[in-house]
Amino acid sequence: MLNLRNIEFAYGGVKALDDVNMTMAPGKMTCVMGRNGVGKTTLMQNIIGLLRGSGSITLGDEEISGMTAHRRAQMGVALVPQGRMIFPKLTVEENLRIGLQARRDGGKSIPHEVFEVFPILKDFLKRNGGDLSGGQQQQLAIARAMVGEPRVMLLDEPTEGIQPNVIQQIGHVLKKLIAEKGMTIVLVEQYLDFVKEFGDHVYIMNRGTVVAETSASDMTPELVNDHLSV
């Protein structure tokens, strides 16, 4: 269980997160939605420790808010960042090997299951990350996070700019990780159909705070209209 209590963060004097409270359960996909600029990416960066605000972040029984980003990664918190952040001049294999640094068991080999769920990565092991299509890079970014065998996987807008068949594939892979490993998945997403199809619980943010909470299946047109449509 990942618990956020009273999270606050400001860029200089500008408040970006204001008293954010969320609970993300294992074996569930918790979605964080909201228009551009409401603080979703800032929140993910606070969870992984790249940005440090105030408030409490607990993973199971442990308070992780005082830990460095490196330590949080070793505790099993992984982020698939917005824009994928693949190393373009490294091969697919080298990109995947970077994910091994987060392994708690010191494992040195890439788990075979990443190639079972994303077979294209096996075919392209020696290609440079920068030569992959957007959808293939997104698969690589998710696979790189999987390699570290995280307990919590945060994904920041994984469907952005990706073709529909790969979006579906990604949704099914995330569901598999939830079903087989009881992983805690946290998804920042603006694509409503994806949230409705694959998500469990939804928090909606506006101006740096949570303004609504619902199950994904109960998203009402009013909620979408008030907080999501442009």
Ligand X SMILES: Nc1ncnc2c1ncn2[C@@H]1O[C@H](COP(=O)(O)OP(=O)(O)OP(=O)(O)O)[C@@H](O)[C@H]1O
Task: Summarize as ranges the residues that interact with ligand X (CB under 6 A).
Answer: 11, 14, 16, 34, 36-42
Q: What are the residue ranges of helices labelled H in 60-152? A: 69-74, 92-99, 113-117, 119-123, 134-147
Comparing CB distances to ligand X, the nearer of 36 and 109 is 36
Report in angstroms how near the CB of residue 192 gets to ligand X at its nearest. Answer: 14
Least distance in Å: CB of 40 to ligand X? 4
Q: Is the CB of residue 95 less than 8 Å from the CB of residue 86?
A: yes
Q: Which of 34/49 has CB closer to ligand X?
A: 34
Closest CA to 80 of 173, 14, 9: 173
Residue 103 DSSP SS3: coil
Q: How many C-beta neighbours within 10 Å does residue 227 have?
A: 16
| Amino acid letter, 104 | R
CB-wise, 38 or 77, nearer to ligand X?
38
DSSP letter assigned to residue 128 = B
**Neighbouring-strand partners of residue 9:** 17
- Closest to ligand X by CB, 17 or 102: 17
The nearest distance, CB 228 to ligand X, in angstroms, is 11
CB of 23 to ligand X, least distance (A): 20
- Rounded to the nearest whole angstrom, what is the least distance from the CB of residue 38 to ligand X in the complex? 4
CA distance 125 to 210: 41
